[in-house]
Amino acid sequence: MAFEFILMLTSNDRTIPDAAARLDEALEGGVRHIGFKDVGLPLAELKGLADAIRAAGGRSYLEVVSLDAESELASARAAVQLDVDCLLGGTRADVVTEVTRDHPVRYYPFPGRITGHPSVLEGPAEDIADSARRLADLEHVHGLDLLAYRFDGDVPGLMEQVCRSVAKPVIMAGSIDSEERVIAAARAGAAGFTVGTAALKEDFPAEGPGFTEQVRTILSITARAQARSTAPRRLALVAHDNRKPALRAWVLRHRRILAGHRLICTGGTGAMVTAAAPELSVRRLQRGSRGGDQQLGALVATGELDAVIFFADPSAPHGYDVDLQALTRLAIVHDTPIALGPSAASALASALLARGAD
């Protein structure tokens, strides 16, 4: 997740009554990460929202606001039944993961002590960071949902401390209503942020009135904030055998902007990249002939890659096309950028990895 804007069709911690109509406006604005709460509408209507988001090529999120154990478990079961992509929130990860662990839903619980409705984050920053570490250590927790702007204290400091404490992605939530707060989340290392009520109230300075213009404005703000993001990107690198020298040359030419990011490579490519630039962070999968391309596809499908660079050999035998076609199809389905040669890879890297000055 490369610092994404997640639009919540919610107000005051409830899904809005006209969420279906607002969803059409949101899609017109161009947003593709869209969520809702587990309260405010019947389950059947929430299912319609989740299906419509997926049909439009988007990624769906359900955020839990329940405070008691039974309601939180019911929300986890609802996330599975609705077939959403991500479940945000909740405080009982030990029991929720018993529900979600055998399903494709990605789970991002709240760290810290959560009270009230609307929810508030309480406690010292050190305790919240400790909670984040404990949660991130759980196998079936895929990231964290930090109610940063519901914290009565040094919010930028809290965000940075939590992001530094864990290797998994952190989404910032709660009363993000200005470009200043969006950029602060990016600088802290967040993987994304949620906006709900502020967009519905038209708090952001847009070129025109209406919800669609709010969405477009927040997307523009997100693009500016991405240049200040400190979160490491997760970039897949792979090459057919005859294209490995070209990929090696590309890596050496871009080693400076690749530094600090996480490279995921099939086995042979990973060995080559590590030998050429040992300072880079490389995670090696199986070799392509042993299933490495399929492992990359699985990472695309679960949203764990920000982009794919595949130096393909157009003169290779047709057998090589199968894995490339499968990976390309998944990249399209999950809207993951993919580059198949040096020029496209350089353009992608410049857009995704370069960090602007504050």
**Active-site residue set:** 293
CA distances from 308 to 253, 267, 269 (A): 18, 15, 13
Task: State how far the Cα of 128 lies from the Cα of 117, in Å rounded to an integer.
Answer: 19
153 Cβ partners below 8 Å, 6+ apart? 125
Q: In one letter, which amino acid is 142? A: H
Beta-sheet pairing, 14-15 with 10-11: antiparallel
8 Å CB contact between 214 and 202: yes
pLDDT value of residue 357:
47
Please, what is the average pLDDT of the chain? Answer: 91
Give bridge partners of residue 113 from the DSSP assignment. 122
In the predicted model, what is the mean pLDDT of residues 16-27?
96
Q: How confident is the model at residue 101 (pLDDT cuts 50, 70, 90)?
A: very high
pLDDT value of residue 160:
96
In the predicted model, what is the mean pLDDT of residues 269-278?
94
CA dihedral 93, 99, 102, 108 (to 10 degrees): -40
Report cis status (omega within 30 of 0) of the bond before 118.
Answer: yes
Backbone phi, then psi, for 110, in 5-degree steps? -80, 125
pLDDT value of residue 227:
86
Domains of the chain: 4-226 (3.20.20.60), 234-352 (3.40.50.1380)
